[in-house]
Amino acid sequence: MPPKSSIKNSATQMAKHLAEVLSDTYLLMIKTHGYHWNVTGSLFPQLHTLFETQYNELFLAADDVAERIRALNCPAPGSTQAFHNKTSIKEAGDKPISASAMVKDLLKSHEQIRTRIETARAFAEEVGDTGSEDLMIGRLRAHDKIIWMLRAQV
């Protein structure tokens, strides 16, 4: 059995990976929600509904990730400032963009977060944290599905 300090260090490092995933997830949820509100054009009904499904799923996912961080006995980031400090997701901005540009931007963002999730999953596997690894595998599946759906729109 590894020493307690090694286990605590692994949990702390895992929580840092998960905090990045949480930050990306939360900011992507906000971006997707904004696109839901502002999408226009001939695909409005389909994209409005698709974006709503996605931001709701991301909101629930953020809660799962935050709860996993807490299960590791570490504090979960809970402010937009903390999320901004840890995210790789670029905000949408204030200027209106086309529905096509929204889809492309969301596709890029989901691909970015997928990379971060894979890094967290690999670390969880390395340290034997099956709970975090399982959570990250589920997130990979969810993002793969969203990526597939967004690519079908491009």
What are the sequence ranges of the domains in the chain?
4-153
* CATH number belonging to the domain at 4-153, selected among 3.40.50.720, 1.20.1260.10, 3.40.50.2300, 3.10.20.30: 1.20.1260.10
Total residues found in the chain within this entry: 154
pLDDT for the residue 7? 59
CB 55 within 8 A of CB 33: yes
CA angle at 78 for the pair 91 and 96, rounded to the nearest 5°: 20
pLDDT along the chain (154 residues), means of 10: 60 97 98 97 96 98 98 96 96 93 98 98 97 98 97 91
Question: DSSP state, 126?
Answer: H
